[in-house]
Structure 1
């Protein structure tokens, strides 16, 4: 919470957070028309803390359109990648490809190293199509994915909805 400069945590369940974040992502929340004012910070889930919400989007893509991942450790970004199919996705790329990215490219018969700015090459288009759906698999490979939580998942603590440092946060009203 401190590292991300989040404030006003309000306890909520995963189900409540999902509904609120979905509402925010569609610009339906009063005082939060761009969906950037609030995020859900999960309880510790199998040793991980998930931060979910429109504000966390590493590439400013439209909801439901592609995949994006941001991998950070101790506050430092290790990898950021965006696969929305939009021109400029390459501008969001930071860090070296993850082992899973390299392996998937090799499965496709592609070089594990590539120039993200390359466009129009049929083989690279095949990679972009595969990457379009890769984020949940990367989350699972690195630790845990919000899409794979079960009743057996180890959970410690309480999830909260919190205000982001985004300028509209002060106007977002109650967080729950």
Structure 2
């Protein structure tokens, strides 16, 4: 079996991203109601997204949209938070809208300090799986194959929602959002494919979000 090589991506301590199975970046922006602000590299965008994450204001619509990565386009930033109670309804609606346009779309959350994991899968406008270790998130759908694989490895019985606290911690530690993202789309935090482009991404935001525009303005 071929050994995959992975490289780091954008680690913002609290990481939120969406993945869409398309190379049509303009179509993704249109479906999300965003406009392109300017081009950006992963390195520059990493600094901006990390600062936004520490701002703890997921209403700021500034995101980094990657170049195509193995046929996927990722959208990264706190605005993509499909798991926080305040932002989740709007973010989940956007993921479902993307799935109408492109057949399927995913959303993920990964806390780099062992403070949370979550994943959402929508197909044809409907959420078919929602799973997270946050108590406020009500699970939707059946376990994914990657979830069942890790449950079996750990000697645990599905569903994930019925695990006790100790087993729940062990499961989400091993079957993290990163592991799920690598299995079904793209891990933009710690596991980008080594062949992933490192430049030619873009920053984008809602046209009426002046705060996002200020955040995206390069320092002189």
Q: TM-score category by the smaller chain? A: 0.7 to 0.9
The offset of 1:156, in angstroms, is 9.9
Count of matched residue pairs: 159
Deviates further, 45-54 or 69-78: 69-78
Counterpart of 2:203 in structure 1 is 161
TM-score norm. by structure 2 comes to: 0.61
TM-score norm. by structure 1 comes to: 0.74
Say yes or no: does 1:80 pair with 2:130: yes
Measure, in 1, the Cα distance between the counterparts of 2:128 and 2:58: 26
The offset of 1:6, in angstroms, is 1.5
> CA contact under 8 A between 1:68 and 1:82: conserved in structure 2?
yes
What is the root-mean-square deviation in Å for CA atoms of aligned residues? 2.9
Q: Per the alignment, in what secondary structure is the counterpart of residue 44 of structure 1?
A: coil
> CA contact under 8 A between 2:129 and 2:140: conserved in structure 1?
yes
> CA contact under 8 A between 2:40 and 2:203: conserved in structure 1?
yes
Relative contact order, higher structure (CA 8 A, sep 6+): 1
The offset of 1:170, in angstroms, is 3.4
Say yes or no: does 1:171 pair with 2:219: no
The offset of 1:95, in angstroms, is 2.6
Measure, in 1, the Cα distance between the counterparts of 2:199 and 2:46: 18
Query: Which consecutive segments of 4 or more residues in structure 1 shift more than 6 A?
Result: none
Cα gap change, 1:101 to 1:150, in 2 (>3 Å): closer
Partner residue of 2:167 out of 98, 106, 126: 126
